[in-house]
Amino acid sequence: MRVLGVDPGLTRCGLGVVDGLPGRRARLVHVSVARSEPGLDVDQRLLLIERALEECLEEHAPDAVAVERVFAQHNVSTVMGTAQVAGLAMVAAARRRVPVALHTPSEVKAAVTGSGRADKAQVQTMVARLLGLADLPRPADAADALALAICHLWRPAGALGAPQREPGALTTAQRQWAAAEQAARRRA
């Protein structure tokens, strides 16, 4: 299965395409960040992001699109732009009849790090480890988009097409995180 992860943002929109491989492994296909300048009118900014989304969908033909679920914090203007870009991603996928899933930030963090409270650096580190990358994906928007795609590939047991796990069993990401922590303790 090929998944396009979209970390929506009006200034920077992360786009990450990941293939699911046997054994709950993942392979990087594409990562980029669509950008728009804050000085442009909002409609022009949305048009730039929409073009990048369309190109990514056209070039990589994902089986599913995973978009970060927008939630309101304190800055309503930021949330508005993020929601508008999320809507663009959903419409672009729907136009191609590609299923769309929304994942919360804590759900994504838990899927790739084992903790829903992981910070950006932990997410970047685990995305690099899970995809076998030599360098951390940057900026954080790129790592977040890849994490969204991985999260969707590894959605919880019982979800449509997801493999069943034993209750209490660790996810692949949780096992790799524990191994990394043990290795760090041995080096210290």
Question: Was 7 annotated as part of a binding site?
Answer: yes
Question: Was 19 annotated as part of a binding site?
Answer: no
**Other Cβ atoms closer than 10 A to 1:** 14
**Other Cβ atoms closer than 10 A to 120:** 13
| pLDDT of amino acid 33 | 98
Active-site pick, 68, 119, 144, 166 = 68
CA proximity to 9, closest of 83, 66, 71? 83
| pLDDT of amino acid 148 | 98
Enumerate the β-bridge partners of residue 33: 14
| pLDDT of amino acid 70 | 86
| pLDDT of amino acid 104 | 95
- For the chain, the structural domain boundaries read 2-187
pTM assigned to the model: 0.82
Q: Is residue 141 annotated as part of the catalytic site, yes or no?
A: yes
Question: Was 119 annotated as part of a binding site?
Answer: no
Average model confidence (pLDDT) for the chain?
A: 88
Query: For residue range 117-137, what is the model confidence (pLDDT) as tens digits?
Result: 999 999 999 999 999 999 999
| pLDDT of amino acid 187 | 73
Q: Specify the CATH class of 2-187 in words.
A: alpha beta
| Long-range contact pairs involving 20-27 (C-beta distance under 8 Å, separation at least 24) | 20/153, 24/153, 24/154, 24/163, 24/172, 25/172, 26/130, 26/131, 26/149, 26/150, 26/153, 27/131, 27/132
DSSP H helical segments within 2-139, as ranges? 42-60, 76-95, 105-113, 120-131
| pLDDT of amino acid 78 | 78
| pLDDT of amino acid 23 | 85
| pLDDT of amino acid 161 | 38
Which residues of the chain fall below pLDDT 70? Answer: 72-74, 156-185, 188
| pLDDT of amino acid 162 | 43
**CA 110 to each of CA 24, 47, 86, 99, 121: distance values in angstroms, whole numbers, following the listed order:** 16, 32, 21, 22, 14
| pLDDT of amino acid 24 | 85
| pLDDT of amino acid 160 | 40
Active-site pick, 141, 144, 166, 181 = 141
**Residues sharing a CB contact under 8 Å with residue 11, sequence separation 6 or more, in sequence order:** 35, 36, 37, 38, 81
**Cα separation of the two ends of the chain:** 39
**Relative orientation angle of helices 172-187 and 120-131, to the nearest 10 degrees:** 100
Q: For the stretch 101-118, what's the b/e string if a residue is b when 16 or more beta carbons lie within 10 angstroms of its beta carbon?
A: bebebebbbbbbbbbeeb
